[in-house]
Structure 1
């Protein structure tokens, strides 16, 4: 049985001062250790995270959510007491109350990675893009972009690999990497709230959307040409709920 104290919770945060303190406090009340990575915020995110009791890292420049998450994962992995690592956003979308549910579901599923999945969220255009990517990748994952994920150390080794550092986002490219490394993924349905603070930095403008789509298609194409993607009949370990 996994104890909450075995789980390191990593929260990348950029200008999340209105929400980060409450997020940290709620996670700590569950018994988990919290690591906040301040992605060079322009507000007092760092100070509020420290005041709430998180181990807090401050990056010297804005690296993006995935690189910030990697920094937190790498730091937490050096603490021998942690066997499991959970990433979540600091903007209020991911609710800490679901962490115990994710831990219990993880124990039942026996996978290396469990994704807190909420495919109902997002605009019609975003859902259409998700369906397209799901068909192209054949990952068998419904919510491809959720960053609310619980990883074990096998998954962590893949995330912190040299290939993992080449990624710009923490969604489809990461899932493809995990599949190539033989890491099994499952999903668990949760509800996600609206952002209490800020907005999507991927879908902030058409330019950002275009950049995201282009990079995602590149990762999918690379997965195809290397022959590492599965056939339609081989999706074990990446089943949707």
Structure 2
């Protein structure tokens, strides 16, 4: 099965080489790094390795749209499966085989690497609220470690998916609307090597995220009931 690991990266020079090293040993996967107009040496470090497919962006468009750029590349190049992976050192390469095996055996369209014990109080409050609002029974709603099958790749490559702001509840709601199935596999995660969460770094950011995602959940639920 033609599979790619897609990694969006913005100013990840501290962690990117350490993140890529074990992934490059997994020769059955193509490695795609989408550089989101980094202003440090991230692009230079990634481009130095000919094994990596590098998609450099001219302007910063944010984590989800950078990820979607990689997913669209995979859609156009007939990949059957995409593994999304963070560049900050949280995700572990040795979790990938178990996620892929489960995706193949279960037949689910999306498999999420789940680590619900991580995170702050704010993160857990958000998860609990969004599970109640959306009806999505996923413990780790904000995990970026996911395996997407071909049907999910096609949906997430659309213009409508570009309107999403985060790769979490909105993505799952969209896939649920199209009748796709998803499940979770428990995984371990590290603390990020560098930087901060783009959602949970301050109460202001949390408030924006909560408001944005709550409205999205309500609108989707209303549409599904009409």
- The answer to whether 1:179 aligns with 2:169 is no
Question: In structure 2, how many angstroms separate the alpha carbons of the residues matched to 1:49 and 1:228?
Answer: 46
Aligned residues: 224
Q: Give the Å deviation of 1:228.
A: 5.2
Unaligned runs of 5+ in 1: 230-241
Contact 1:35 1:76 in 2 (8 A): no
Question: In structure 2, how many angstroms separate the alpha carbons of the residues matched to 1:172 and 1:126?
Answer: 13
Match of 1:149 in 2: 146
Match of 2:85 in 1: 88
Match of 1:234 in 2: none
SS at match of 1:207: helix
Unaligned runs of 5+ in 2: none
Paired residue for 1:7, among 3, 14, 32?
A: 3
Q: Give the Å deviation of 1:27.
A: 1.1
After TM superposition, the structure 1 = structure 2 runs for residues 16-55 of structure 1, keeping only pairs within 5 Å, are: 16-31=12-27, 32-52=29-49, 53-55=51-53
After TM superposition, the structure 1 = structure 2 runs for residues 220-235 of structure 1, keeping only pairs within 5 Å, are: 220-227=217-224
Any idea what the Cα deviations from partners look like across 1:56-107, whole Å, max 9, x if unmatched?
1111111111000000111122223x21111110000011111111111111
Question: In structure 1, how many angstroms separate the alpha carbons of the residues matched to 2:53 and 2:43?
Answer: 10
Contact 1:180 1:228 in 2 (8 A): no
TM-score, length-scaled by structure 2 = 0.95
Question: In structure 2, how many angstroms separate the alpha carbons of the residues matched to 1:228 and 1:49?
Answer: 46
CA RMSD of aligned residues (A): 1.4
SS at match of 2:224: coil
Q: Give the Å deviation of 1:227.
A: 2.2
Match of 1:77 in 2: 75
Question: In structure 2, how many angstroms separate the alpha carbons of the residues matched to 1:50 and 1:162?
Answer: 28
Q: Give the Å deviation of 1:156.
A: 0.8
Change (3 A) 1:228 1:11: farther
Q: Give the Å deviation of 1:150.
A: 0.5
Match of 1:235 in 2: none
Question: In structure 1, how many angstroms separate the alpha carbons of the residues matched to 2:162 and 2:110?
Answer: 19
- The answer to whether 1:214 aligns with 2:211 is yes
TM-score, length-scaled by structure 1 = 0.89
Contact 2:33 2:46 in 1 (8 A): yes
Any idea what the Cα deviations from partners look like across 1:132-171, whole Å, max 9, x if unmatched?
1111111111111101000111011111122211100000
Paired residue for 1:61, among 48, 54, 59?
A: 59
Question: Which range moved further: 199-208 or 181-190?
Answer: 199-208
Change (3 A) 1:227 1:28: same
Q: Give the Å deviation of 1:44.
A: 0.8
Q: Give the Å deviation of 1:206.
A: 2.5
